[in-house]
Amino acid sequence: MTNGYFENKVAVITGGSRNIGRAVAAALVERGCRVVIGDVLDTEGQKTIQDLNSMTGKENAVYLHTDVTKYADLIALFELGQEQFGGVDFAFLNAGISVPNDIMLDDLDDEKDERLMKINTMGIIKGSKVAVRYISKRGGGAIVNTASTLGLDCTNYSSIYNASKHAVVGWSKSYTQLPNAANIRMNALCPHGTNTELLWKDFNEYHQGFHKTSGLMVDINTIVKAVLLLLEDEQYNGIALKALPGDAIEVEESPKVFQKIILASQEVKPEEIASNMVALEERAGSKFKKDLDESVQRYFQKSSI
Ligand SMILES: NC(=O)c1ccc[n+]([C@@H]2O[C@H](COP(=O)([O-])OP(=O)(O)OC[C@H]3O[C@@H](n4cnc5c(N)ncnc54)[C@H](O)[C@@H]3O)[C@@H](O)[C@H]2O)c1
């Protein structure tokens, strides 16, 4: 990694009070980055920023109570980054929960059934909408959205968690035009099981059993390395990066479904489709850039009234 890359940059981290979020915050602060942590666990969050600030002897970390399901809270978190540190370069959207029950068998309850999707999926969709506005105002940066290996593959008994994390991967791979439009890269982080409360306290016993019997856990340091790579390395855009046992970090290869359909077709010339697609992408790219610029302007005009 480049020396000094994170120096004086600013990262917003959701779900940063403990475990993966906290470890990433610590790694960034160690590299000279300032961090703005948002979480619902206020006591742990305050303790985390105290620890980080005593590590550097400066106020390089701040905390704000943030419920990622609410735009007002997310906006306040990014505003804090701007007020306190002058802007935001990175967003690590990491807040998430698991549930112990198999939701298919639960009673039909709107609020209970939607809670996990609101935090794990909508929290990231809303968080990245806010992040794009602040990071593009800054001139560019990167967004990392925490999914899971359960966002790529599925086990029984964790159905709604699987669905929420597949959605995070889908969202994160859907904006490959962001670098051209706003100098922002967005990617999904897919850690395998690691030793945190989310796995041992909140997940069900079947899921925990997999990790107990296989012993296949990923070290939290591998996850931190993968996040730093996604924040820094410009080759990564619109991909899912796996953090795996054995300190392995791998890009999940795309199944290239569209490409295979084109190649398998007897009716069309692949070159013709390919050139149509390129033209479409190019048009979508310049239109997207214009529309994004307008959205960002509209947002900051409104918020300054
Ligand atoms: N631990 C694992 O095995 C594992 C594996 C793959 C992915 N993940 C994902 O990694 C992320 C971090 O998990 P972790 O293992 O560090 O667990 P964790 O429970 O320690 O961390 C999750 C954090 O998110 C916060 N949070 C929950 N709801 C929130 C809300 N509405 N608003 C703001 N913050 C909220 C929690 O308070 C907590 O601090 C999660 O998205 C999780 O799904 C974890």
For residue 297, report the distance from its CA to the centre of ligand 1, in Å: 32
Q: What is the CATH number of domain 10-254?
A: 3.40.50.720
Lowest-pLDDT range, 172-176, 185-189, 203-207, 243-247?
203-207
Ligand 1 pocket test, pick from 20, 148, 160 with the greatest ligand atom count within 8 Å of Cβ, gives 20
Residue 203, pLDDT score: 75
Decide if pLDDT at 214 tops 70.
no
- Give the dihedral of Cα atoms 17, 193, 202, 39; nearest 10 deg: 20
The one-letter amino acid code at 298 reads R
Distance 38 CA to ligand 1 centre (A): 12
Domains of the chain: which residue ranges? 10-254, 256-305
Highest mean pLDDT among 1-5, 174-178, 202-206: 174-178
Per-residue confidence (pLDDT) for residue 94, from 0 to 100:
98
Pick the closest to residue 186 from 125, 247, 137 (CA basis).
125
pLDDT tens digits for range 56-84: 999 999 999 999 999 999 999 999 999 99
For residue 159, what are the contacts with CB-CB under 8 A and spacing of at least 6? 102, 103, 104
pLDDT at 197: 83
User: Which of the residues 63, 134, 157, 161 is marked catalytic?
Assistant: 161
Residue 134 annotated as catalytic: no
Q: Which of 198, 199, 203, 208 has most ligand 1 atoms within 8 Å of its beta carbon, as the pocket-test mutant?
A: 198
Strand pairing category for 248-251 and 240-244: antiparallel
End-to-end CA distance of the chain: 42
Q: pLDDT band at residue 1, thresholds of 50, 70 and 90? A: low
Question: How many other C-beta atoms are found inside a 10 Å radius of the C-beta of residue 201?
Answer: 10
Residue 59 C-alpha from the chain's centroid:
25
Taking the model in full, what pTM does it have? 0.95
